[in-house]
Amino acid sequence: MKIIVCGAGKVGSNIARHLALENHDVTVVDQSENLVRQISDAHDVNGIVGHGSHPDVLERAGVGDADLIIAVTLADETNMVACQVAHSLFGVPTKIARIRHQSYLQPMWANMFSRDHMPIDVIISPEIEVARAVTRRLEVPGAFEMIPLVDNKVKLLGVRCKEDCPLVNTPLRQLSQLFPDLNIVIVGLIRDGKPIVPKGEDQMLAGDEVYFVVDSDQIDRAMVAFGHEEREARNLLIFGGGNIGMFLAKELEENHDWVRAKIIEANKERAEAIAGELDKTIVINGSVIDQDILEEANVAGTETVVAVTNDDETNILSSLLAKKFGCSRVVTLVNNQSYEDLVGSIGIDVTVSPRNITVSKILQHVRRGRIHSVHTLREDFGELIEAEALQTSELVGTPLREAKLPQGVLIGAIVRDGATIYPSGNTVVEAGDRVVLFAAADVIRKVEKMFSVQLEYF
């Protein structure tokens, strides 16, 4: 595919890097000569310096024969106009835009992005996506990651192995013997910051971060097997009343009304504004690193703290203060990639990366074939993919042991007619099956081909 990416910031450069690794023809447009040079030097992408919404700049970028434009500059208006220009002047078939300002996203204005007005096929709101990701992590206490798949029939969970984890030092191929009625497939390990695609003889060690696919009905049993029996939070404290904190509080009020939530927001005007929009959530005006404010909010009696201010250092420091005061679990928003591996070692339970979440959401709409969802698991590790097996796929009709799956691909589950099948070597994939698999970063293009059909883009 020929793809134009407008914006060479953290999200744009990561999208371009992913797509270039999969041999797409990628051109990045940005006003910063520095950023364009950095990404074109580091990856096999073309770079154009200029304004992403100007027709002459897009023409130089080759938009005339592009299959897709992805607009992720810092300005919503630039992203929207880039998509409009790409559609009206150059007939680009698919347009994706990141739009952050919530006034554009109100349901009453939804018609604005229709084909007759400002034609944008996919709109990504990072704040809404991050709030949803945080909510998912709150649903399974003890897990640092939770992703629902195949209409919520199976889930991917991420857990840390503690010293008392019953599964430590057990070869993975023996798990089915130890827990014959527990359907889990371990698809990835992180050990000392390094990713491992596990084999049957591998063992989990204390300190490992483990990703596994499990039937949704067996989550509690799986968490107990890993030594996690934490109870769901009833008292929640949100640090930061920006868009993410606000969306999270609204989500809790609408769908988790048994949770008592409070927000601490430093800006007085913002605190007053969100207090007027929330019904049950208590809003406190003050600094999240002020110990008096934390005591007033009763952080010691709070089961979970979610730190989602717009500053990484504030999120990390306030999370550590919350742990010091006695909070049992902290969920921390971290934008800076260099902090991600650090925070786990200093006592932070769960980290949330807006960049990874946004990139995953965009890549879901770029993949070829019948790919229904894509989720990035850690930087340069790989992706969790949910795909529909087509009759033309080389995976269909052959026992998995003979299917010649690429090295670095692990099938976690197959859902057929609503029933979940946990794969063995004898399992045969049928047309129409939903397949959940993990693919290491260097084989994603091969997986894409396995689920593609000639002349079809999904």
Among the listed residues 75, 22, 25, 34, the one whose alpha carbon sits nearest the alpha carbon of residue 52: 75
How far is it, in rounded angstroms, from Cα 27 to Cα 30?
10
- CA 361-363-364 angle, to 5 degrees, is 65
* 288: its two tokens: 């999240």
Q: What pLDDT band is residue 20 in, cutting at 50, 70 and 90?
A: confident
How far is it, in rounded angstroms, from Cα 384 to Cα 357?
12
Domains and CATH numbers, the chain: 2-124 (3.40.50.720), 130-225 (3.30.70.1450), 235-352 (3.40.50.720), 357-450 (3.30.70.1450)
330: left (phi over 0), alpha (psi -120 to 50) or beta: beta
Among the listed residues 454, 403, 409, the one whose alpha carbon sits nearest the alpha carbon of residue 427: 403
Q: Which carries the bigger pLDDT value, residue 346 or residue 427?
A: 427
Q: What is the DSSP letter of 257?
A: T
Q: Which carries the bigger pLDDT value, residue 265 or residue 183?
A: 265
Residue with tokens 């359907």: 183
pLDDT of 326 > 50? The answer is: yes
pLDDT tens string 109-165: 777 887 778 889 889 998 888 998 888 888 888 888 999 999 889 999 999 888 888
- CA 326-332-335 angle, to 5 degrees, is 155
Determine contact, residues 144/109, Cβ cutoff 8 Å.
Answer: no
Among the listed residues 148, 152, 221, the one whose alpha carbon sits nearest the alpha carbon of residue 184: 221
Among the listed residues 387, 400, 382, the one whose alpha carbon sits nearest the alpha carbon of residue 439: 382
Give pLDDT, residue 353.
Answer: 87
* 385: its two tokens: 């993919």
* 435: its two tokens: 């397949």
List the end-to-end C-alpha distance of the chain, in Å, as a whole number.
Answer: 12
Give pLDDT, residue 408.
Answer: 86
pLDDT tens string 346-374: 888 888 888 888 888 888 777 655 778 88
Predicted TM-score of the model (pTM): 0.80
Give pLDDT, residue 452.
Answer: 66
Helices within 119-164 (DSSP H only): 126-139
